[in-house]
């Protein structure tokens, strides 16, 4: 109730309320507008890091973080081997009956590589040789910096995130790793777009050498210029040398050289111009049995970028979608008549199923 003698006018009260609302609007309108602008500008960044609001990713950024992941994984591989804390154990048998080894180097490299790539590109599918333990998750960030070497060669190009599959091999040549045959060991990352390998990174942890290439983009490695197609040097898995040697020499002649080696990454590098004292040179890479796609995707991408080929033994292109295995063996070459090589080795496709 108003004091005695004072009567409140309804019109005056209305004017007073309107004036109060005006003052409040003046005070808070700028603040609210600023908060709205901040929300609108911040929304895309919170939604997914390097992925754009349209759901695409930049291939140059994918290459940069793939190189970083291979190197970081390699650091773990090297640290474990030099500390002699492998903790090696059998994780199963291959189709040929050989025991597959698993070491601390495999697991720690996998953890470092997977979570770096996942943090950088959370919407992209990542397939890795080793199982990812969510209880052992590692927080890894990427500052999105791109090395000058990549900037000078590769131009930005966006692709839909849903079309991308990343294949990780955190430690290629584990058997040789346990035997301390360090020259064969690599860490690898491959990026496939719609099943086709377009980015490949092969890193040698014990010499710090890294080869990378992008299809229709560029590379930091070249193919060798000297090849002998009549009597090629054929690089094969150590366990397959006997299977390949007889057929290869019947086909190309007794002067054909068979080079047993470990690791798919090492074998692909043998086809390239790699300035490494412990890197052998070969003209053709042949594998005659089932092989996992994370073993070969990076090498396939590098060869494709340089004009080379990696196919099944019957000449079919290998798709990097669906299952994680390639059933038809493989033959890889560069600066050679790939089709003629396949036609010369018809019996190897049958060998691959034995």
pLDDT digits (tens, 9 = 90+) for 23-58: 455 444 444 444 433 333 333 333 344 555 459 999
**Is 169 part of any known ligand binding site?**
yes
In contact, 296 and 325? CB cutoff 8 Å: no
CB atoms closer than 10 angstroms to residue 344: 16
For the question of residue 106 being annotated catalytic, the response is yes
pLDDT digits (tens, 9 = 90+) for 140-150: 778 999 999 99
pLDDT above 90: residue 69: yes
As a whole number of angstroms, the distance between CA 117 and CA 167 comes to: 11
Q: Exactly one of 106, 186, 210, 351 is catalytic; which is it?
A: 106
Tell which residue, 97, 266, 82, 248, has the closest CA to residue 172. Answer: 266
User: Of 8-12, 110-114, 242-246, which gets the smallest average pLDDT?
Assistant: 8-12
User: Of 57-61, 84-88, 254-258, which gets the smallest average pLDDT?
Assistant: 254-258
Give the pLDDT score at 104: 95
Q: Among 3.40.50.2300, 3.60.21.10, 3.40.190.80, 3.40.630.40, what is the CATH number of 223-350?
A: 3.40.190.80
**Is 102 part of any known ligand binding site?**
no
Give the pLDDT score at 120: 95
pLDDT above 90: residue 179: yes
**Is 347 part of any known ligand binding site?**
no
Q: Coil, strand or helix: which one is 331?
A: strand
**Is 136 part of any known ligand binding site?**
no
Domain assignments of the chain as residue spans, ordered by start: 56-221, 223-350
For the question of residue 216 being annotated catalytic, the response is no
As a whole number of angstroms, the distance between CA 47 and CA 109 comes to: 28
Q: b vs e for 46-68, b when ≥16 Cβ sit within 10 Å of the residue's Cβ?
A: eeebbbeeeebbbbbbbbbbbbb
Give the pLDDT score at 211: 98
The Cα angle at residue 249 between residues 248 and 250, in degrees rounded to 5: 90
Give the pLDDT score at 244: 85
Which of 2-11, 295-304, 326-335 reaches the highest mean pLDDT?
A: 295-304
What's the gap between Cα 240 and its chain centre? Answer: 26
pLDDT above 50: residue 151: yes
User: Of 57-66, 128-137, 228-237, which gets the smallest average pLDDT?
Assistant: 128-137
CATH of domain 56-221: 3.30.540.10
Q: Exactly one of 174, 289, 311, 351 is catalytic; which is it?
A: 174
């Amino acid at each position: 109730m108003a004091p005695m003698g004072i009567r409140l006018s309804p019109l005056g009260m209305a004017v007073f309320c309107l004036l109060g609302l005006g003052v409040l609007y003046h005070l808070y309108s700028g603040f609210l507008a600023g908060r709205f602008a901040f929300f609108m500008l911040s929304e895309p960044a919170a939604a997914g890091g390097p992925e754009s609001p349209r759901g695409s990713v930049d291939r140059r950024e994918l290459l940069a973080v793939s190189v970083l992941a291979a190197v970081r994984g390699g650091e773990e591989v090297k640290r474990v081997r030099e500390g002699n804390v492998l903790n090696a154990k059998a994780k199963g048998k291959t189709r040929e009956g050989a025991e597959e080894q698993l070491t601390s180097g495999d697991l720690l490299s996998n953890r470092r590589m997977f979570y770096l790539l996942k943090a950088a590109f959370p919407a992209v599918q990542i397939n890795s040789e080793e199982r990812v333990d969510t209880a052992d998750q590692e927080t890894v960030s990427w500052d999105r910096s791109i090395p000058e070497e990549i900037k000078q060669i590769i131009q930005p190009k966006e692709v839909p995130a849903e079309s991308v599959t990343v294949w990780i091999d955190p430690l290629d040549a584990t058997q040789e790793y346990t035997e301390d045959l360090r020259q064969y060991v690599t860490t690898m990352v491959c990026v496939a777009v719609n099943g086709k390998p377009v980015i490949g990174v092969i890193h040698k942890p014990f010499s710090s050498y890294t080869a990378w290439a992008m299809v229709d983009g560029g590379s930091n490695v070249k193919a060798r210029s000297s090849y002998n197609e009549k009597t090629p040097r054929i690089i094969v898995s150590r366990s397959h040398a006997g299977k390949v040697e007889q057929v290869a020499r019947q086909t190309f002649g007794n002067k054909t050289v068979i080079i047993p080696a470990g690791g798919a990454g090492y074998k692909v590098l043998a086809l390239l111009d790699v300035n490494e004292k412990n890197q052998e040179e070969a003209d053709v890479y042949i594998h005659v049995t089932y092989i996992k796609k994370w073993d070969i995707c990076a090498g396939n991408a590098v060869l494709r970028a340089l004009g080379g080929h990696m196919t099944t033994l019957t000449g079919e292109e290998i798709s990097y979608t669906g299952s994680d295995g390639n059933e038809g063996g493989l033959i890889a070459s560069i600066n050679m008549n790939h089709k003629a090589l396949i036609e010369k080795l018809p019996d190897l496709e049958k060998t691959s199923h034995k």
